[in-house]
Amino acid sequence: MCGTAGTGSTRDIAASCGKVLEQSAGGLPAELATPRGIDNSRQRTRQWHFVDIELATPNFDAACFNHPPIPSGKPASNGPADDCVADKVQEFAGELANPATDLEEQVVALKFLLHFVGDLHQPLHDSDDHDRGGNDKRVSAAGLRAGNLHHYWDTEFVDQLGPDAKTIASDLIGPSPKLKSRVGK
């Protein structure tokens, strides 16, 4: 997320990313850019990764547990277990933009945001076809081993973009001849 944050309407988040990384001890190593190390109780934050909108009867509010508020005086990282990724992105982005948020919570917010922006772009985290997020759907593609749809989206298709995250981010942000040749004009 911070790699693409300097574009368009995300300039404030880019500035916040830079500030948090500068102020936190040693920056934010890539292996720590996942929220898993924040809370040993993954069950408490499990729902935060999804906004499972039913395909047959779409209802955004229901998928977000009717948007529960964060208890007064609590940081977003201590919010209710039943919440959705769309709400959590807004909450954590708000914390990053708020100069009153202490540095420790800003680091937590940044870690969650880095992960959750990816989750939002994962269609299997955004819709519910009663297939455990694509884990129950078997797929195959030429040159790749058969597997489940969720794995293909998270790994196999991403690997096809190349090994360099900076180049991939640049290709996704702007016109990329390499990407255009792969997906057509």
Q: Delimit the domains of the chain by residue range.
A: 8-128, 138-183
Q: What is the mean pLDDT of residues 126-135?
A: 90
Spell out the residues 6+ positions from residue 171 whose beta carbon is closer than 8 angstroms to its own. Answer: 161, 178, 179
Helix, strand, coil distribution of the chain in percent, nearest 5: 55, 5, 40
Residues 49-72: tens digit of each pLDDT: 999 999 999 999 999 999 999 999
168 falls in which pLDDT band (50, 70, 90)?
A: confident
122 falls in which pLDDT band (50, 70, 90)?
A: confident
- Whether residue 161 is predicted with pLDDT greater than 60 in this model: the reply is yes
pLDDT at 77: 93
Please, are residues 13 and 20 in contact by the beta-carbon 8 Å criterion? no
Q: What is the mean pLDDT of residues 141-150?
A: 90
29 falls in which pLDDT band (50, 70, 90)?
A: very low
Residues 83-114: tens digit of each pLDDT: 999 999 999 999 999 999 999 999 999 999 99
